Amino acid sequence: MSSNATARILAPQAHTIIENWHEFYASETKKAGYIATLKPMNGTQRFWGLNDIPDMLKYAARNKKEDMYLSLNAFEYGSREAGKLKQIRNLGVDIDCHSLSITPHEALEKLQSYILIGHIPNPNLVIFSGRGLQILFSIANGAAPQVAYLAQYITVQYISKLKDIGADPRACDLPRVLRFPGTTNTKNNAAVKVEIWRQLEYSLQELYEFCTPLEQARKRGKQRKGNVAVFIDKVGAKTLYSLNAARVNDLQRLVEIRNGDLTGCRNTFIYIYSFTVCLFLKSRGDTEDFIQPTIGQIYSTTDKQMKKSEINATIKSACNDATEFMESFSANEFSMRGLSRTLIKPMKNDTVIDKLHITEAEMKAMRTIIGATVKRERNTESTRNKRREAGMRPMAEYNAERKEQAENMLWQLQQAIERHPGKKQKEYAEMLGVTPMRISQLTKKLKK
């Protein structure tokens, strides 16, 4: 994505006064793709375009006595996978205050105090989910999938800011869902209610201004006063946070897949997870708080039980390494090329796969921690789907998408060359999951 395109996405948009809660999810300015409803009891998932919203509301009314959820963002029809994201419409934080024995009323008061002191922006929606709160920040006109890493960066930071009232760190990915207003939380038979707290939507830049800047480290508890966090439009920064945003989700997913059993790699997992999260939160203390729910789930059937002091030592080591890397990376203009060989950098996917003993079956449930075989399978499936879609879409739209994909592949190759200079074309092809001939074509374009 070009600098001009990024600037357009981040710049304040022409705001519209929102009258109905569902307009934050779908409106005339948010109509690319489909939002999804989910009924967890039987796994029923339905997709709704802008013209389907009246039917969606009727559908929810007919099922108001059941648990039902609604996606924050829009996807290609039929899939709510991260790779099918079509438009980023909202950022959300799930406040499970019940887990900390805090009442929703107490959490609400604390939330309001944080808004008053400028700790977080005023949410557009507050959903009273039955035993907790769910807050939503809506993006004017929606944002392109290419800035998903920035949306997740902001979400992780907001979750960290609200951790003391039960913000759930395991619910930070963009495909996630929140309770559907007007339905029922069957855990306590409470009606799910919603309030509009702010009728004007935000630009991503406005939401980002409440975060620690991407390229900076910070001391725990230090508040910025009067400073505006301006997004640094560097390809290297986008690459880093895009890959690691997906890695946070994949690592959390691995714990779920294994039901917490990380026999033989528990300490290594803690290090990798801590390093990855610290790149987002810039603080060891905040990283410890954020990862605690996930760390608390893991165990081993044969490894010696870890003492709390050992866990803390691992987290400290990971955060120190992440901070040192980020400082060097920023000073080096967000480029891997030229960084010291002794500097500890984010692990390659192959290294993570090896150290955590991740199987191909587990990779298929992940977005970025995947090997060459799974990558090729996905590329084949993606190509097949695009060919199928090409006959159903205007040629101009199809060509624009192909151009964007080509630019993205050029960017990936450039990053691979920077990180692994001197490799053969065959080796770059294996890294990117393409043919050596394709690498030859791309290399010629890079030299122009």
Residues 155-177: tens digit of each pLDDT = 999 999 999 999 998 888 888 89
Is residue 356's pLDDT more than 70? yes
Is residue 139's pLDDT more than 80? yes
Give the pLDDT confidence score for residue 355 in this predicted structure.
96
Sheet containing strand 69-71, edge to edge, reads 44-48, 35-39, 69-71, 177-179
Mean pLDDT of 204-223: 72
Question: What are the distances in angstroms from CA 398 to CA 142, 316, 391, 392, 394?
Answer: 21, 48, 9, 10, 6
Give the pLDDT confidence score for residue 170 in this predicted structure.
81
Mean pLDDT of 297-316: 91
Contact status, residue 233 vs residue 3, Cβ threshold 8 Å: yes
Give the pLDDT confidence score for residue 284 in this predicted structure.
92
DSSP state of 164: G
Contact status, residue 82 vs residue 122, Cβ threshold 8 Å: no
Residues written for the chain: 448
Is residue 108's pLDDT more than 80? yes
Count of Cβ atoms closer than 10 Å to residue 265 Cβ:
20
Q: Name the 3-class secondary structure at 142.
A: strand
- Which band of pLDDT confidence, cut at 50, 70 and 90, is reported for residue 1? very low
Question: What are the distances in angstroms from CA 155 to CA 168, 175, 255, 280, 416?
Answer: 11, 13, 21, 10, 28
Amino acid letter, 175: P
Phi, psi of 190 (to 5 degrees): -90, 140
pTM: 0.75
Predicted confidence (pLDDT) per residue in 119-130, tens digit? 999 999 999 998
- Rounded to whole angstroms, the maximal C-alpha distance in the chain is 64
Give the pLDDT confidence score for residue 137 in this predicted structure.
97
Contact status, residue 213 vs residue 232, Cβ threshold 8 Å: yes
Contact status, residue 418 vs residue 337, Cβ threshold 8 Å: yes
Residue 168, phi-psi category: left (phi > 0), alpha (psi -120 to 50), beta (remainder): beta
Measured CA to CA, the distance from residue 35 to residue 363 in angstroms comes to: 26
Is residue 91's pLDDT more than 80? yes
